[in-house]
């Protein structure tokens, strides 16, 4: 399993966690999700993103939102094993006319687990890791460290 978790190769000097404190961080260009703890990477996994691209504004666009959001604890999901809801849209985004909900970080679609499940973007606006073990690791880390925010960036 360690090989899967480290599928996104980065060096210590190349970590996007520097200066981020303790947060869940998604870098869309690098197709990875980092467990950032006190500015250091405690793990990185490859992800699949929304089939509509990035910068969600409306319900149904299948895009992943960009920005900083609240993050909920994991809940069971019949479709994806576990789901951590992302607080999209924010109150300000709602005022600005953004619509939608049910965006989250989750495991693979039932029946499609493994590295190939992150080879292409297939979600409807969520961030998906490739295995149940990966989403369990994220969920456990989020709970143990009381992580309440996620940052999603394009770069």
**Interatomic CA distance for residues 83 and 61, integer angstroms:** 20
Look at the domain 2-153 and name its fold: L,D-transpeptidase catalytic domain-like (2.40.440)
Q: For the chain, which residues make up each domain, given as ranges?
A: 2-153
Q: What distance, in Å, lies between the first and last C-alpha atoms of the chain?
A: 27
| Chain mean pLDDT for the chain | 90
What's the pLDDT at 111? 80
**Interatomic CA distance for residues 83 and 107, integer angstroms:** 7
The two structure tokens encoding residue 99 = 């619509």
Residue 10 in this model has a pLDDT that exceeds 50: no
Measured over the CA atoms of residue 82, residue 124, residue 45 and residue 154, the dihedral's sign is negative
63 has which bridge partners? 53
What's the pLDDT at 21? 93
The model carries a pTM of 0.88
Residue 14: band (very low, low, confident or very high) from pLDDT cuts 50, 70, 90: low
pLDDT, tens digit (0-9, with 9 covering 90-100), for 78-111: 999 999 999 999 999 999 999 998 999 999 998 8
pLDDT, tens digit (0-9, with 9 covering 90-100), for 22-80: 999 999 999 999 999 999 999 999 999 999 999 999 999 999 999 999 999 999 999 99
């Amino acid at each position: 399993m360690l090989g899967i978790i480290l599928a996104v190769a980065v060096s210590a000097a190349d970590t996007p966690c520097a200066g981020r404190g303790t947060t869940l961080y998604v870098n869309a260009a690098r197709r990875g999700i980092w467990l950032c703890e006190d500015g250091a990477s405690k793990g990185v996994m490859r992800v699949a993103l929304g089939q509509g691209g990035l910068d969600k504004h409306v319900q149904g666009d299948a895009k992943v939102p960009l920005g900083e959001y609240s993050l909920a604890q994991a809940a069971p999901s019949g479709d994806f094993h576990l789901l951590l809801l992302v607080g999209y849209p924010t109150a300000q985004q709602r005022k600005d006319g953004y619509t939608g909900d049910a965006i989250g970080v989750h495991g693979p679609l039932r029946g499609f687990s493994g590295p190939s499940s992150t080879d292409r973007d297939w979600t409807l606006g969520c961030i998906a890791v490739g295995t149940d073990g990966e989403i369990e690791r994220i969920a456990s880390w989020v709970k143990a460290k009381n992580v309440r925010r996620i940052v999603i960036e394009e770069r």
